[in-house]
Homo-oligomer: A and B are copies of this chain.
Amino acid sequence: MRALVLALAACALLGQTQATRAAREFRQDREQSILEEFFRLLRTQDLAGTAELLRAALTARGLDARLLTVDGAAPVVYATRGVPGARQTVLFYAHYDYQPVVAKQWIGHGPFEPILRDKPLEQGGQRISFPEAGSEIDPEWRIYARSSSDDKGSIQAMLTALDALKAAAVTPSVNLKFLFEGEEEDGSRNLGRILAAHKEEAAADMWLICDGPVHQTRRQQIYFGARGVTTLDVTVYGARRELHSGHYGNWAPNPAMRLAQLLASMKSADGRILVKGYLDGIEPLGAAEKRALDEEPVIDEDLKRELWLGSTENAPRRLSELINLPSLNIRGMASGSVGDEARNVIPARATATVDLRLVKGVDWRAAQDKVIEHIRAQGYFVVEAEPDEATLLAHERVAKVARGNGYNAVRTPMDSEASRQVIRAVEAARGATVKMPTLGGSVPLSIIQDVVNVPLIGIPIANHDNSQHAANENLRIRNLWDAIELFASLYTM
């Protein structure tokens, strides 16, 4: 039996090696036209237009493609290709929506006007013109545009890998499904509803989640889970209007100071979370997961240098370990005005948006409850809507806490058969991998798992330094080329 498994694995490996080579040769002949198609995708800003463009792109490649819709949601692009005799169905998930943009923070071009730079902006990267057909393309160049790495790069690589196999007359070994979501950056708030309404389309032996960055060493990464996430908006109050800081300072409460004190109470100076019970219930890592963490390259010092960090939170614990624990992060904090715009007032209110990242065993609503309980324990009367005069007068401190959406963490065991099959196919194309029990970022695995309940495994392709979610998002061209080979290998696993 063991011999048979090994023989099958060896056979699959041969197919994957062949597919990978075909993908490379195909790409090398057509780099400029691949980029042209990708730029068209990056220029498409509206979600409905993007969905239609992708549906057409999949149809043109011979797939049965259509849009899955429910009322009030951006459509999901869905396509399938059955393979005669295939015993498995693998679904490739990515999302075509993107983070909000602040156009003025983009240097030299608009977020939906893709450009090339000869190296990263932080290293003085200069804009270069789009290459003529046949001219050489340096794989260290970067494509700057919103969603270039998160996730349209994955989608483009999947499309090109389909072309490559077809050109080489290589047949996939598994039935293929593609499912591209349009609301991931909005918390995938309708994904569960769409999947529940399209159970047949969502059915597969495994889902591969093609979202996120590769490892900071540039080695291919596979993740077997993701943190859950939710948010809280916390607002505290001073007087009902801004007050002159001279006439009332020392007497009227300053909401910025109160918010600072409240936030400061949530973490120690070295980064430990002080919210009571916040770490309770965490499901411990298994043996395979612990081994993977031990094998993970140590990158902390390199990363500190790259990011200009003189210290880290929770030192000396490493990033790889900390990502498997819940976090509490201030996304933003606002009160009054600063710098040249500051006026000599006591602000009337102060707001912070906090995100909570959660690991397996911790429910996102329970995590919100714990933070809200912590706020109460600091003497605040907590309300959910804007407090009125009577409420403000009746309590020494009032905080409005608005709960955001969320989802829970998910983890697929690393030593399952599906996990081992995926690891083999990825390593056939990309060599040794970094295997992460949990991705730091949150992809909506729990929403998917609630409906399909199959192994979910993450295959990210973007460079780690892609400025994801911030301005000047970019994709290193080498990562796009690598991803084409990676998907070709996965299609034949």
Contact = CB atoms under 8 A, between A and B. Distances in A.
Interface stretch (A66-74, A87-95, A174-182, A323-331): A323-331
A371 to B, nearest CB: 14
B257 A307 contact: no
Interface stretch (A192-200, A280-288, A388-396): A388-396
Contacts of A342: 231, 233, 331-332, 353
A339 B231 CA distance: 10
A129 interface: no
A335 B337 contact: no
Interface in A452-473: 464, 467-471
B261 A269 contact: yes
Given A251-B319, A335-B332, A439-B246, A240 B122 contact: yes
B256 A100 contact: no
A256 B330 contact: yes
A245 B355 contact: yes
A307 to B, nearest CB: 4
Contacts of A346: 329, 331
Contacts of A471: 242
Interface string A329-347: 1111111111101111111
A312 B269 contact: no
Contact of A245 (B240, B327, B338): B327
B397 A256 contact: no
Contacts of A166: none
Contacts of A335: 330, 332-334
B122 A253 contact: no
A470 B249 contact: no
Interface residues of A, number: 101
A333 B394 contact: no
Contacts of A304: 393
A65 to B, nearest CB: 30
A261 B265 CA distance: 8
A240 B308 contact: yes
A245 B334 CA distance: 18
Given A250-B323, A254-B330, A355-B245, A396 B310 contact: yes
A330 B347 contact: yes
A460 to B, nearest CB: 10
Contact of A250 (B252, B322, B333, B396): B322
Given A251-B313, A309-B252, A322-B251, A468 B347 contact: no
A61 interface: no
Given A100-B341, A347-B331, A271 B246 contact: no
A214 to B, nearest CB: 11
A410 to B, nearest CB: 14
A347 B332 contact: yes
A233 B339 contact: yes
B310 A245 contact: no
A155 interface: no
Interface in A170-215: 212-213
A117 interface: no
14 contacts: A242-B467, A246-B441, A247-B440, A250-B313, A251-B300, A253-B271, A256-B332, A260-B330, A261-B269, A331-B338, A336-B353, A339-B353, A343-B469, A344-B355
Given A246-B439, A248-B440, A261-B264, 8 more contacts: A100-B343, A212-B247, A233-B342, A243-B307, A249-B327, A254-B313, A330-B336, A345-B470
What are the nearest 6 A-B pairs in CB distance? A246-B441, A332-B336, A264-B264, A311-B396, A239-B307, A342-B353
